[in-house]
C-alpha cells in the first residue's frame, strides 16, 4: 500500500472513530447539561478542563516521545521493551507526586472555586492517574501505526461508559456531581486496562532485538511536555479563567461553546494522528519531497472539511444550542468567534506537529509559551469587559497568531508549505 493510500485509508478510519466518539461526547454533554444543575455542570467541565492540564504534567511528554522513538526502533530492529518500561515508570511516579501535591496544596482552592468537597477532589485525582496511564499506552499503540485502536478507548469507550452510567442513574434519581465524577473514574480505569491489554498484544513482536539506549528519552519528553502543556493551556485556560472569574455557571455556558467548536478540530486531529509517524519516517529518510506532498495533502482535505462543517454549524447554531437548554443560548456569539479561528488553524495544517517531531521542540515551546502568556493577559482583560464573548475573542486572537507563527517558521526553516495554497504562484 502506498503512503498516500495508507494516509487516506487510515485517516478515514480515524475520522470514523472520531465522528462516533465526538457524537457520543456531544450527547454526553447534552445529557449532563440536562440532568445536572447549571452549577454542577459548570463544576464538572471546570474539573474536566483542569484534569486535561494535569494529565499533561503527569505524562512528562511520553505519549509524544513514543511517536518519535518507536518508529525509529522498529526501522532499525531495536527492542521497544526498555523504552516501554521507562515510559510507564516515569508517568506513574510523576502522577503520584503531582496528584499528592494537588491534594495537599490545591484542594482548598478547587473547593472554593467550584464549590466541591475535598472528597470529590480526591475522587477526581484518582481518575486523573488512570487517564495518564491510559494515555501512555495510547501513545505506544499509535506509534506502531494503529491510530484507530489508540483512539477508540479514549474517544468512544470512555464517554460511552459515562453516558450509559449517567442515563442509568438519572432514571432512578437526580444526578449529582459525585455520580458524574465516580463514573469518570470507572471509565478512566476501564480505558487504561483496555489500552494496556491492546499494547501487550500488538506490541509483543517489537520487543525483540538489540537493547535501546535511554539517552535522550527524558530530555525529549520534557521538551514535548512543555509543548503539550502550552497546547493544553491554550485550549483550556479560557474555561478555567471564566470559572475562576465569573463562576461555575458562566463556565458551564462557555464550555458548551468550546465543545461545539471543538467539532471543527476533528479533521485536523484525525489526519495528524495518522500523519505523525509518517512525518518522522520521511524526515529520517531525508525525503523532503514526500514530506511536502504529505503536508499539502493533509491541509487540502482538512481545510475543505473544516470550512464546510463550520458553515453547517453557523446555519444550525440555534438548533444545536437548544439541545442543551435555553440558558445556553448566550454561547452563540462565542461559537462564531471560536469557529473562525478554528478554520484558520485547519488551513495552516500540521506545522506544529512537523516542528515537534523534527527536533524543533524548543522553538515550538517559545512560540506556544508566548501565546499562553498573551492568552492569559487577553482573557483577563476581555473577560472583565465582555464576559464569555471576551474569552472567545482572546482565545481566537491567540489561536490565529500562534498558528501563523508556526506556519512562517516551517516555511523559513524547511522551505516547506504546510497549507494547500501554492505559495509560489502568489
Q: What is the pLDDT of residues 153-191, one digit of tens each?
A: 888 888 889 988 988 887 777 889 999 999 999 999 999
Query: Mean pLDDT throughout 411-420?
Result: 88
Could you tell me how far CA 340 lies from the centroid of its own chain? 19
Q: What per-residue confidence (pLDDT) applies to 20?
A: 85
d(CA 145, CA 354): 17
**Ranked by mean pLDDT, which of 3-17, 143-157, 305-319 comes out on top?**
305-319
Residue 394 contacts residue 375 (beta carbons within 8 Å)? yes
**5 pLDDT more than 70:** no
Q: Per-residue confidence at 199, pLDDT binned at 50, 70, 90?
A: very high
Reported as half-sphere exposure (CB side, CA atoms, 13 A), residue 411 has a value of 16
Please give the average per-residue pLDDT across 308-326, as a whole number.
91
pLDDT of residue 156: 87
Amino acid at each position: 500500500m502506498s503512503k498516500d493510500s495508507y494516509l487516506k485509508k487510515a485517516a478515514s478510519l480515524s475520522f470514523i472513530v472520531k465522528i462516533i466518539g465526538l457524537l457520543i461526547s456531544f450527547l454526553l454533554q447534552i445529557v449532563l447539561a440536562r440532568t445536572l444543575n447549571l452549577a454542577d455542570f459548570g463544576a464538572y467541565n471546570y474539573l474536566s478542563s483542569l484534569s486535561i492540564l494535569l494529565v499533561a504534567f503527569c505524562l512528562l511528554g511520553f505519549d509524544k516521545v513514543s511517536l518519535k522513538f518507536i518508529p525509529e526502533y522498529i526501522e532499525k530492529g531495536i527492542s521497544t521493551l526498555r523504552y516501554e518500561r521507562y515510559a510507564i515508570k516515569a508517568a506513574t511516579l510523576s502522577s503520584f507526586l503531582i496528584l499528592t501535591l494537588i491534594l495537599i496544596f490545591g484542594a482548598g482552592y478547587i473547593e472554593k472555586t467550584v464549590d466541591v468537597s475535598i472528597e470529590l477532589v480526591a475522587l477526581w485525582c484518582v481518575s486523573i492517574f488512570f487517564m495518564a496511564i491510559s494515555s501512555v499506552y495510547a501513545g505506544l499503540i499509535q506509534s506502531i501505526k494503529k491510530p484507530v485502536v489508540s483512539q477508540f478507548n479514549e474517544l468512544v469507550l470512555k464517554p460511552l461508559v459515562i453516558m450509559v452510567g449517567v442515563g442509568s442513574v438519572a432514571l432512578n434519581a437526580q444526578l449529582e456531581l459525585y455520580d458524574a465524577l465516580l463514573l469518570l473514574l470507572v471509565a478512566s480505569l476501564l480505558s487504561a486496562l483496555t489500552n494496556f491489554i491492546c499494547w501487550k498484544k500488538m506490541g509483543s513482536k517489537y520487543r525483540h532485538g538489540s537493547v535501546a539506549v535511554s539517552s535522550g528519552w527524558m530530555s525529549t519528553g520534557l521538551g514535548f511536555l512543555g509543548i503539550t502543556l502550552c497546547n493544553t493551556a491554550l485550549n483550556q485556560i479560557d474555561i478555567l479563567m471564566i470559572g475562576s472569574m465569573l463562576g461555575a455557571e458562566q463556565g458551564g455556558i462557555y464550555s458548551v461553546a468550546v465543545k461545539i467548536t471543538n467539532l471543527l478540530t476533528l479533521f485536523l486531529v484525525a489526519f495528524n494522528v495518522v500523519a505523525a509517524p509518517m512525518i518522522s519516517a520521511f524526515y529520517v529518510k531525508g525525503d523532503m519531497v514526500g514530506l511536502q506532498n504529505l503536508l499539502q495533502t493533509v491541509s487540502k482535505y482538512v481545510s475543505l472539511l473544516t470550512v464546510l462543517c463550520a458553515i453547517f454549524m453557523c446555519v444550525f447554531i440555534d438548533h444545536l444550542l437548544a439541545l442543551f437548554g435555553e440558558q445556553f443560548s448566550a454561547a452563540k456569539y462565542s461559537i462564531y468567534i471560536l469557529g473562525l479561528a478554528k478554520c484558520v488553524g485547519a488551513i495552516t495544517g500540521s506545522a506544529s506537529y512537523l516542528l515537534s517531531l523534527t527536533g524543533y521542540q524548543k522553538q515550538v515551546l517559545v512560540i506556544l509559551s508566548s501565546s499562553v502568556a498573551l492568552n492569559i493577559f487577553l482573557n483577563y482583560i476581555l473577560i472583565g469587559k465582555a464576559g464569555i464573548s471576551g474569552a472567545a475573542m482572546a482565545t481566537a486572537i491567540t489561536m490565529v497568531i500562534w498558528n501563523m507563527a508556526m506556519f512562517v517558521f516551517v516555511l523559513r526553516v524547511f522551505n516547506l508549505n504546510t497549507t494547500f495554497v501554492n505559495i509560489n504562484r502568489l
